Amino acid sequence: MRKLIDFPFSKVLVLGLAKSGTAAAKILLANGIAVKVNDMKLKEEDLEVKELQEMGAEVIVGSHPLSVLNGMKLIVKNPGIPYENPIIVEAEKRGIPVITEIEIAYRLAGDSIIGITGSNGKTTTTTLITEFLNESNKQAKVAGNIGIVATEVAQSLRENETMVLELSSFQLQGVETFRPRIAVLLNIFEAHIDYHKTFDNYKQAKFNIFKNQTSDDYLVYNAEDPTINAELGNVTANLVPFSVKRKMDQGAWLNEESIYFKDEKVIDLKDIVLVGEHNLENILAAIAATKLNGATNEGIKKVLSVFAGVKHRLQFIDNIQGRLFYNDSKATNILATQKALSSFHTPVILLAGGLDRGNEFDDLAPYLKRVKAMVVFGETKHKLRQLGQNEGIEVIETVENIEKAVERAFSISDEGDTILLSPACASWDQYRTFEERGDMFIQAVHKLL
C-alpha cells in the first residue's frame, strides 16, 4: 500500500463522509494522522462510524458544531458540501486549508495521473483513455467522479500503472498541490452556478486542473473552445490541442476519412462505432492523451471498433420494430442535449424534462429541426412544452414519469424513428440520480419487447 507523499498535516478534519470521505479518513489513519470526522447525516450506531472509531478516529455525527475545528490543521471536505457551510467559512477565517479527497489521492499517486475534466464528455473520455491504455499493454485504473473513489485506487496503484481520474469542478475547487502529468480539458460552458455562484468561479475551478503543472507536463485541450483558448497564456505545461475542424500539427485532428495524431494516421472514421460529433471530440482528446502515454494505434483501433458508449451517455439500448432507443440520461444540461440531438439524422422523438433550476430552454430551439414529437415530464414539462409549441412541433405529450414517457413515445412512433431520452435537466425532482433515471428508461424499453 502506498504512503502519503509530502503531507505535513498532523491533525485533519474529514467533513462529510460518504464513500470518498470514508476512504480519505482511512488512508489518513493508516498514515498515522490524527483524524476527526464530522457528518450531519450519520448516526452513532452506523457501521462506518463504528469502523472509523475502532481505527482511532474521533467521530462527531448529527450536527456541525464549530468546535470540531479546534486543533485542526487541515480540512478534507466532501465535494458536495458548499463553501458557505459555517465550518468552511470559519476555517477560512482561521487560515485552515480546505481540500477535497483528490488532493489526498495525488499525495499517494504522484506523477502517475491522467486527469480529465470539462462540462461534458468526462466519463466517455475517461473510459476511452483507460481502455486505450489497457489494450496497448499500458496498465491503467479508472477513478474519481466516475464513481470509483480516487484514494482507494491511488493507495493500491502499482509502479507501472496509471490512474485515469475523472474530475468534477466540485473536486477541483479543493486542490492545492494536485498536478496530473497529463491534464485533459474538454470544454467549458456555464454549469453548476447554484454551487459556484458565478461562471468565473466555475471556470477557475476547472482551470485548477493545470494550475500546478510544469514544463514537464502536458495539457490536452479543445482548440475550438473559446473559454479555454482565452486562458492558455496562463498554462505552463506543454500544449497538445485537438480539433474536429482543422489540422493540429501538435495534436489530434481529423479529416473526412480518418483521425490523426500529429501527422500519423490512427484510425479511419468508418471503423468507429460510437455516434455523435461530440464523441469525436472525446475520441480525439483520448487519443491525444494516450499517445502521449505510449498507447498503440492497434490498441486504439481495437477499442473504437467495438465501443458503443458509456451507460447513460447516448447509450444504444435496442431496436424494437424499427425504432432505435437511446439512453442519454446523463444529459443533465442543455448543451448535452444539443449534442445528442446533433448526433442523429433520423426523425427523433425527444423525451425530456426534470429538475427546474430556473433556466429557460430557448438554446435548444435550433436543434429541434429533426424532432417530430416530444414527450415531456418532471418540473420543467411546461417550459419544454412551450418550447416545442414555439418551434412548431405538432405532437407534444405530457406524462408523469420515464416509464409512461417510453410507452407514449413508442405508441406515437413510426418505423425508422429514434426515441431519445436526453432530459436537458437534472433528475432530482423525481429520481435520486441520473443513473436511476436511465435505468428506469432501460427497464421500460425492455418491457416493450
What is the structure's pLDDT at 189?
86
Q: CB of 116 within 8 A of CB of 282? A: no
**Which residues touch 425 (CB under 8 Å, ≥6 apart)?**
332, 333, 352, 353, 354, 355, 356, 357, 378, 379, 380
- CA dist 258 and 446 (Å) reads 36
Kindly state whether residue 6 falls inside one of the protein's structural domains: no
Q: Is 250 among the domain residues?
A: yes
pLDDT cut 70: percent of the chain above it: 100
Query: ∠ CA 116-284-342 to the nearest 5 degrees?
Result: 95
Whether 122 has a binding-site annotation, put simply, is yes
What is the identity of the amino acid at 119? S
When pLDDT is cut at 50, 70 and 90, the band that residue 277 belongs to is confident
pLDDT at 397: 98
Q: Which residue has the cell 492545492?
A: 176
> DSSP string covering 345-403, please?
-S-EEEEE-----S---GGGGGG-TTEEEEEE-STTHHHHHHHHHHTT-SEEEE-SSHH
C-alpha 32/C-alpha 174 separation (Å) is 23
For the record, the C-alpha cell of 133 comes out as 491504455
Instruction: Report pLDDT digits (tens) over 36-60.
Output: 999 998 889 899 899 999 999 999 9
Domain check: are 116 and 70 in the same one? Answer: no
Residue 230 and residue 327 in one domain = no
258/285 same-domain check: yes
Closest CA to 427 of 360, 340, 333, 338: 333
**Which pLDDT score is estimated for 310?**
81
Q: Is 121 annotated as a binding residue?
A: yes
Indicate left, alpha or beta for 376 from its phi (over 0: left) and psi (-120 to 50: alpha). beta
- Per-residue pLDDT for 289 more than 80? yes
Q: In this structure, which amino acid lies at residue 351? A: L
3-state SS class at 57: coil
The cell numbers describing 339, all together, are 449534442
- 22 lies in the same domain as 41: yes
Domain end call among 49, 71, 99:
99
Which ranges of 73-213 does DSSP label H, i.e. alpha helix? 86-94, 101-109, 122-135, 150-155, 169-172, 193-196, 199-207
- Residue 298, sorted as left (phi over 0), alpha (psi -120 to 50) or beta, turns out to be alpha
Confidence (pLDDT) at 238: 98
Q: Give the CA count within 13 Å in the CB-facing half-sphere of 393.
A: 27
User: What pLDDT is recorded for position 197?
Assistant: 86
Q: How far, in whole angstroms, is CA 366 from its chain's centroid? A: 26
The pLDDT score that the predictor gives to residue 434 is 95
Identify the CA nearest to 435 among candidates 331, 326, 283, 343. 331
Cα distance between residue 437 and residue 432, in whole Å: 8
Q: Is residue 2 part of a domain?
A: no
Confidence category of residue 446, pLDDT binned at 50, 70, 90: very high
Q: Are residues 135 and 270 in the same domain?
A: yes
What distances in angstroms separate CA 419 from CA 38, 233, 441, one per listed residue? 45, 44, 11
Query: What's the pLDDT band for 182 if we cut at 50, 70, 90?
Result: very high
pLDDT at residue 191 tops 80: no
Instruction: Name the pLDDT band for 120 (thresholds 50, 70, 90).
Output: confident
Enter the pTM of the model.
0.80
Which of residues 99, 123, 143 is at a domain's end? Answer: 99
* Residue 423 belongs to some domain of the structure: yes
List the grid coordinates of 158. Answer: 502499482
275: CATH: 3.40.1190.10
Q: What is the pLDDT of residues 242-267, one digit of tens each?
A: 999 999 999 999 999 999 999 999 99
Q: Is residue 3 situated within a structural domain?
A: no
Q: 85 is in which domain, residue-wise? A: 11-99
What pLDDT band is residue 98 in, cutting at 50, 70 and 90? very high
Q: Tens digits of per-residue pLDDT, 380-395?
A: 999 999 999 999 999 9
Domain boundary, last residue among 304, 331, 355: 304
Contact 148/138 with Cβ under 8 angstroms? no
pLDDT computed for residue 343 by the predictor: 87
Res. 147 pLDDT band, cuts 50 70 90: confident
Do 299 and 332 share a domain, yes or no? no
- In this structure, are 21 and 39 located in the same domain? yes
**Strand arrangement, sheet containing 11-15:** 58-61, 34-39, 11-15, 74-77, 98-99
Report pLDDT for 275.
Answer: 79
Same domain? 289 vs 176 = yes
pLDDT at 410: 98
Residue 130 lies in a domain: yes
123 labelled ligand-binding? yes
Does 198 carry a binding-site annotation?
Answer: no
- What pLDDT, on the 0 to 100 scale, is given for residue 146? 83
286, 417: one domain: no
Q: Tell me the mean pLDDT in the region 431-442.
A: 96
Same domain, 93 and 76: yes
Q: Which amino acid is present at 25?
A: A
Q: Reduced to 3 DSSP states, what percent helix, strand and coil does the chain have, rounded to the nearest 5?
A: 35, 20, 45
The CATH number for 441's domain is 3.90.190.20
Average pLDDT of the segment spanning 226-243:
98
pLDDT at 328: 95
In a domain, 4, yes or no: no
Classify residue 199: in a domain, yes or no. Answer: yes
For residue 302, which of 140, 132, 164 has the smallest C-alpha distance?
A: 132
Looking at the fold, whether 272 and 167 belong to one and the same domain comes out as yes
Query: Over pLDDT 90: what percentage of the chain?
Result: 86
CATH number of the domain where residue 81 is located = 3.40.50.720
pLDDT tens across 387-421, in order? 999 999 999 999 999 999 999 999 999 999 999 99
C-alpha distance from residue 401 to each of 43, 354, 404, 448 (Å): 33, 10, 6, 16
**What are the backbone angles phi and psi of residue 13, rounded to the nearest 5°?**
-100, 125
Residue 426: pLDDT band by 50, 70, 90 thresholds?
very high
Q: Is 120 annotated as a binding residue?
A: yes
pLDDT digits (tens, 9 = 90+) for 195-226: 888 999 999 999 999 999 999 999 999 999 99
| pLDDT, mean over the chain | 95
Number of domains the chain is built from: 3
Q: Indicate whether 375 and 435 sit together in one domain.
A: yes
